[in-house]
Amino acid sequence: MTGLALALVLAAAFVHAGWNYLLKRSGGGTGFIWLFASLSTVIYAPVALAVVWWQQPPLGWAPLGLMFASAALHTGYYLTLDRGYRRGDLSLVYPLARGSGPLITIVCAIAFLQERPTPVALAGAMGVVGGALFLMGDFRKLRERGGHHTVGLALMTGTLIAGYTLVDKLAVAAFLVPPVLQDWAANLGRVALMTPIALNNPESIRTAWREQRRAIIGVALLCPLSYILVLTAMVFTPVSYVAPAREISILIAAVLGTHFLAEGDAPRRLAAAAAMVLGVIGLAVG
């Protein structure tokens, strides 16, 4: 992984953990998700249109199909992630979702995209994923606390992460769709898919805007930015390197959960963080 790709991915990690913290703290809900997706579409529309005008990318049926697939996968991702946050801690849901996603992504990238990561890079990926899993703690105690439903939602979220990562990798690398356009089109599709759901409960929209307006605006700005940075890195970097490296955001989210949401257990998180840092170094060297 080049220095530029690593810088893009690490910047994305900070931004990504930030908007997840805002979502968790706000309490989320369908109204919140629909509002920030709609606002993101409006905010980033001038940028996306400028990219189309400037680059004039080829937009045949295949790129459009990948945009729709990304929109569908992202819709499921946000709804599942929100349900997970409403049932469990940021420092549980985020690590499991983000840690399982890269593992699935790497397996699929090797199987279907013919990518061949070096042994050092694979070891680094396993360090990131292993650190993320260790961050969760004892599975038996988790089950005793009734957290297995939260774990199921987090693993489902991780599967959806793997799905949209591979779809978007194909779009930006194989079909040369500009990253900004790919993310904006997927966001527009997500708004269209979620609108019937959101309008079934208009009061949730009004309540979310009235009570969480600043958080909605923050997530609307940060969420697309984090993924655009990742997609830009994927243009010239194998997805099996990018997907695990971005999971350093797990450490950032754990710190936010520990210090601002009182989720505790700092020693274990420090040990897990050390494993993830070593993993990122392995990815950079590999």
pLDDT at 90 (0 to 100):
82
Amino acid 146: pLDDT: 57
All structural domains of the chain with their residue ranges: 3-285
Interatomic CA distance for residues 152 and 154, integer angstroms: 5
Q: Which regions in the chain score pLDDT beneath 50?
A: none
Which pLDDT belongs to residue 231?
A: 87
Q: Which residue type does 239 have?
A: V
Per the CB < 8 A criterion, the answer to whether 224 and 44 are in contact is: yes
Contacts for 242 with CB less than 8 Å, ≥ 6 apart: 1, 5, 9, 230, 233, 234
| pTM across the whole model | 0.83
| Dihedral sign (CA 240, 242, 247, 248) | positive
- Rounded to whole angstroms, the Cα distance separating 253 from 154 reads 15
pLDDT on residue 259: 74
What tokens appear for 100 in the block?
Answer: 């399982």
CA distance 286 to 282: 6
Task: Give the tokens for residue 212.
Answer: 């969480």
